[in-house]
Amino acid sequence: MSRKPRDKRMSIDEVVGSLESGMTIGIGGWGPRRKPMALIRAIYNSDLTDLTIVSWGGADVGLLARAGKIRKLVYAFVSLDTVPLEPNFQRARQAASIPEIVELDEGMFQTGLKAAAERLPFLPMRAGLGSDVLVNNPWIKTVTSPYDDGAGHEELVAVPALRLDAALIHLNRADVHGNGTYLGPDPYFDDLFAMAADKTYLCVEQIVDTAGLTVDTPVQRLLVNRMMVSGVVETPRGAHFTTCTPDYERDERFQRAYAAAAGGTDEEWQAFHDRFLAGDEASYQAAVQANTLENAR
């Protein structure tokens, strides 16, 4: 495609081609909400391996775990909401097939991203004190406040920065320069992922003119700006089967089918893979549409 200066449009394949095995990759969204699933599906089918994945996890973590892509996983939870524990993730944990696991309190996870976004080695906080987070991760240290607030010098957790080589996020709209806006109820910390990463790849439902990012928007919805973003991919329904409110909600029927296959036999998973995951993104969307029509009959 012909690109003008500051035109950051990329294809899914170009984004995945810019990633390397061994990278630390942060994945935006929240559980089964606004995940960059088109990019995750492409990584699932790629040669990438030995990845460190940082995520408030959902099917993104599940798919990459099933494909054996994850060497280290940093997470606060991995859930599909109506399926409390993501079944591919559950399978991987029970089989101990992810070599290194770091499970953090949700507040610690956010603080780690904030530290990386501010280019600090750590940030102090109280969350984690007295919990098994420190027991299971003895490498996480505590620090003593240099200030006496009247109750002595307080001990705090030194939450290490979650530095990312790349971040993958999905929003509703963006322009070609990388300015991105969300239209749903929550930003899900995607801006922190972007600021914590050396490079950020943004996939969106639609690329629009810059002026269109603020049309009919009652509140400020611009979440990431072009200085944070390395590439923009237009991927309609690219967050499926997770939510991308208000463009679409979670495909609950499809999620149930995914969960059943993930929690079933190897043959059941292979059948799901062959029908929905073996091809490119266009093939996936066509298979989903055909499945929806079959279920509507």
Strands, E, within 208-246: which ranges?
Answer: 222-224, 231-234
- Residue 267 CA from chain centroid, whole number: 28
pLDDT at 86: 98
Report pLDDT for 202. 98
Same domain assignment for residues 57 and 141: no
The confidence score (pLDDT) of residue 131 equals: 93
Owning domain of residue 231: 12-104+162-282
Same domain, 180 and 204: yes
- What is the tens place of the pLDDT at every residue in 120-164? 999 999 999 999 999 999 999 999 999 887 767 899 999 999 999
Q: CA-CA distances (angstroms) from residue 74 to 24, 56, 82?
A: 10, 9, 22
Do 74 and 127 reside in the same domain of the chain? Answer: no
- Return the pLDDT at 217: 63
pTM: 0.94
User: Strands 222-224 and 70-78, how do they pair?
Assistant: unpaired
One domain, residues 149 and 276: no
Q: How far apart are CA 70 and CA 51, in angstroms?
A: 5
Ranges of residues in the chain whose predicted pLDDT is under 50: none
DSSP 33: B
Q: What is the pLDDT of residue 214?
A: 78
Local structure of 243: helix, strand or coil: strand
Same domain? 68 vs 24: yes
| Domains contained in the chain, number | 2
Any idea what the CATH number is for the domain that residue 253 is in?
Answer: 3.40.1080.10
Give residues with Cβ within 8 angstroms of 232, minimum separation 6. 8, 9, 10, 174, 175, 176, 177, 178, 180, 201, 202, 203, 204, 207
3-state helix, strand, coil in the chain (%, to 5): 35, 25, 40
Which token pair is 242?
């997770």
99 with 178, same domain: the answer is yes
Alpha-carbon distance of 60 to 26, in angstroms, equals 11
Distance CA 17, CA 289 (A): 27
- For residue 215, the model assigns a pLDDT of 74
> Any alpha helices (H) in the chain, and if so which ranges?
12-18, 37-44, 59-66, 87-95, 106-117, 132-136, 190-196, 252-262, 266-272, 281-296
d(CA 93, CA 244): 28
Tokens of 203: 């996939």
Task: Give the pLDDT confidence score for residue 157 in this predicted structure.
Answer: 97
Give the pLDDT score at 1: 52
pLDDT of residue 221: 84
pLDDT of residue 296: 77
pLDDT of residue 4: 63
